[in-house]
Every structure is written in C-alpha cells, then in structure tokens.
Amino acid sequence: MLDVNQVRNDFPIFRKKDGDFIYLDSASTSQKPESVIESISSYYNSYAANIHRALYEIGEKATDRYESVREKVKRFINVPDSHVVIFTRSTTESINLIAYAWGTKKLAKDDQILITEMEHHSNIVPWQLLSSRSNASLNYIPIKKDGTLELEELKKNISSKTKLVSVSHQSNVFGTINPINDIIDEAKKIGAVTVIDGAQAVPHMKVDIKELDCDFYAFSGHKMLGPTGVGVLVARKNILEEMDPFMGGGEMINTVNMNESTWNEVPWKFEAGTPNIAQVIGLGSSIDYIEKIGIDMIHQHEQELLHYGLEILSQNEDITLYGKAKKRGAVIPFNVKNIHPHDLAKFLDTDGICIRAGHHCAQPIMNKLGISATARASFYLYNTKEDIESLAESIKKTVGIFN
C-alpha cells in the first residue's frame, strides 16, 4: 500500500501548516516533489549553461543531464529508441508539431482526419487548422452520454480516405480509458497514421509504446509531477525522418548557406533553438520519483480513491455524476443541483478545496451532455480518502447556503 503521509512529506506545498489546502485538480496540473524542484534549482545554481555547444565542464554537464532524460523517457514508457524522444513545450505543442510537420506535407483534398468528440481542444484545433490548410475533411467518432466512444461508428467512419486517426488515451473530463489498442489496429488496417494524446495517461498508468505500436504519442511534464514548459513527443523513426522540420533555427540544422539548409538528425531536427533545459532536467527527476514509488502502485491508489469518491458523492441526491466507463482513471465530473460549477468551486475554495469548474477545454463533450460546464475533482498519489470526505462535506454545506 502507498504510504501517502510519506509521499505528502516529499511535497513542500503540502508541508505548510498555515493555509492548508486540499488539492483535487491534478488533471489540470500536478504538484511537484522537492526532488524535482531541487533538480531545477541545482541546474541554475551550479551548472547553468547552454547545451550542445559549450566546450567547458558545466556546459558538458548540462548537455549530459538534458540528453540523459531521453533515456529515462525511453525506459519509463518503453520506447524502442531514445532518438525518437523529442522534447517540446507541452502536449499541445507536440500535437501542433505533428499537424504542421507531418500533416502539411502529407494531407490534401479528399483525405480525411479522424478524431473523437471526447478530445481536449488541443487535439481538435490543430486538426481544424490543418483541415483548412490542406482541405482534408475532419470527422469525429461520436461519444455516448455515458462518456464512452461509439466504437461501432469507428468502423463506419474509417475508410481508405482516412490518413490520420488521433485519440486521447484517457479523457480529461470523464476519465474514460479509451480502447486505443483496438483503434490503432483498425487504423493500421487501412494504413492511417495514429496519434495518441497521452496527457492524462502517462502520469497515472503504465504506458508501453512498443506494445501500443502507434505512430505518435504525446504528453506533458507538468501533469506528472514535473515542471511546466516541457512536453514529449515520441514517434516512429522513419516517419520523423521523412517529415519536414516544425521550426527553423539553431541546433536543428546540419549546414546553412545563403540559399538553403540541411537538417540535423532526429530528434534534434525538431528541437530548434535553446530548449527548456531546466524543465527537461526537472522532467527527468519527476520520472525518477514516479519510478521510485512505482506507477502501478500510484494507479492502484488512485483507483481506490476513484471508487471511494464515486461511492461517497453518489450518496448525495443533489449531485449528478457524469461518465460510466468501466475502465476509468481518477477523474470525477459532476454537477450540483441549482449551483453553477463556478459558484461551487468558489465556495469550496473558502474551505481550502481546489477543484476545476468549466468546460475543461472539451466543449464538444459539454454539447453532447447538453450542459455548459461541470465541476471536476481529480486525484493523484498525494490525495487521501479524507480529502474526498472533506469535498463531500463542503458540497453539502454549499447546498445548504444555496437552497
């Protein structure tokens, strides 16, 4: 069993006695353990230098630390080759990179991009932009009101025209863990490229890229105990080699003359300019931390919290819970009778409880449910059953004030 008290003690933000708070918004961003914060300050305090160019000790150390994080990502999610691990700013940037550097070259009129109604806006808008640049059509696999995909519709929608299929591994609204193995298999049958948005999956469950065998997989450091400003894109090497660069600048070139340039090898071809060095090093420490605790242990702890949360909140008749997927991560969207989720979040905040309220950057889901917003509680390794009991109590109190 996970020793949550010990875990919480690793996080400076939870050690403060004054202004105690209960953090139930990890699907938005996670808190950071001391080891991650220290690895970032240690770079700035003792070896701050640019990478890949400095011929002195601290520059070489910074380069080694930065590059070693590719190996950590490779081991953590079982990527075949550390050279297909590209550092970006976020999941959002990783998906935009694919849409520009792969999509602009590969897609044309009569081609189809297939996504789902369950996506975060960052897995919708880049494809809308690509669709208007290329004239390829953009189609959606519908969702059911219970927060699962209409998989029967996948077979109806996918055809030889489909060139790219992009799906989230785990929904940020319902927590639904999508059957991405089946979707990748269907896409492969017709030779479509597959993109998996793993922003909500990598922090919370074992992900195995070799086993998934998708073409692209994207995630963010800040949702997995790491700093903001670093994301990852892993991809199949031959596809990366065929792609044009995303951004031009220093480091991504091999040669530059007045008229043209040639490109550096993968992955550096996609890392133009000075990267987020400290953030990448911080991501390395967050992977170390998660591996020390064990991703399966974290997943199991979150599953217990999820089931406890569903049980406790369902006892309150004023609460409507959304999502009924059998395989589901620790995310609970809900609404409380006669209280707008923004008001609820503000009232819970007076009890020191942080939840998210709004459309969660997933407006097509809200449209499907016929609502404009929900409240959302999401859990991570540092949350406890007492946190959930406090949430339930504070909701009851707020209902009393409003009714």
Determine whether 361 is an active site residue. Answer: yes
Q: How far apart are CA 239 and CA 198, in angstroms?
A: 19
Question: DSSP state, 82?
Answer: G
Query: Which residue, 89 or 301, is less far from ligand 7TS as judged by CB?
Result: 89
Stretch of residues binding ligand 7TS (CB under 6 A), selected from 50-58, 74-82, 120-128, 205-213:
120-128
Residue 120 within binding range of ligand 7TS, rule CB under 6 A: yes
- Residues 51, 187, 199, 355: which binds ligand 7TS (CB under 6 A)? 199
Contact characters 153-192, ligand 7TS, x per CB under 6 A? ---------------x---x--------------------
Query: Which residue, 200 or 264, is less far from ligand 7TS as judged by CB?
Result: 200
Q: How far apart are CA 80 and CA 87, in angstroms?
A: 16
**Is the C-alpha dihedral spanning 87, 91, 94, 96 positive or negative?**
negative
Catalytic residue among 361, 366, 371, 392: 361
Residue 28 within binding range of ligand 7TS, rule CB under 6 A: yes
CA triple 190-192-198, angle to 5 deg: 130
Residue 402, number of CB atoms within 10 A of its CB: 14
In 3-state terms, the chain is what percent helix, strand and coil (to 5)? 45, 20, 40
Q: Which residue shows structure tokens 């990527």?
A: 79
CB 147 within 8 A of CB 92: no
Site for ligand 7TS in 221-280 (CB under 6 A): none
Query: Which residue, 62 or 373, is less far from ligand 7TS as judged by CB?
Result: 373
Residue 360 within binding range of ligand 7TS, rule CB under 6 A: yes
- Residues 200, 276, 279, 394: which binds ligand 7TS (CB under 6 A)? 200
Shortest CB 172 distance to ligand 7TS, Å: 3
Q: How far apart are CA 164 and CA 162, in angstroms?
A: 6
Closest to 196 (Cα-Cα) out of 317, 329, 91: 91
Instruction: Work out the widest C-alpha separation in the chain, in whole angstroms.
Output: 72
CB 128 within 8 A of CB 206: no
Burial 277-299 (b: 16+ CB within 10 A, else e): bbbbbbbbbbbbbbeebebeebb
Q: How far apart are CA 52 and CA 68, in angstroms?
A: 13
Contact characters 64-93, ligand 7TS, x per CB under 6 A? --------------------------xxx-
Query: Which residue, 269 or 356, is less far from ligand 7TS as judged by CB?
Result: 356
Shortest CB 230 distance to ligand 7TS, Å: 9
Shortest CB 371 distance to ligand 7TS, Å: 16
Residue 112 within binding range of ligand 7TS, rule CB under 6 A: no
Shortest CB 138 distance to ligand 7TS, Å: 17
Shortest CB 9 distance to ligand 7TS, Å: 27
What residue ranges bind ligand 7TS (CB under 6 A)?
27-28, 90-92, 120, 122-123, 168, 172, 197, 199-200, 220, 356, 360-361
Active-site positions? 361
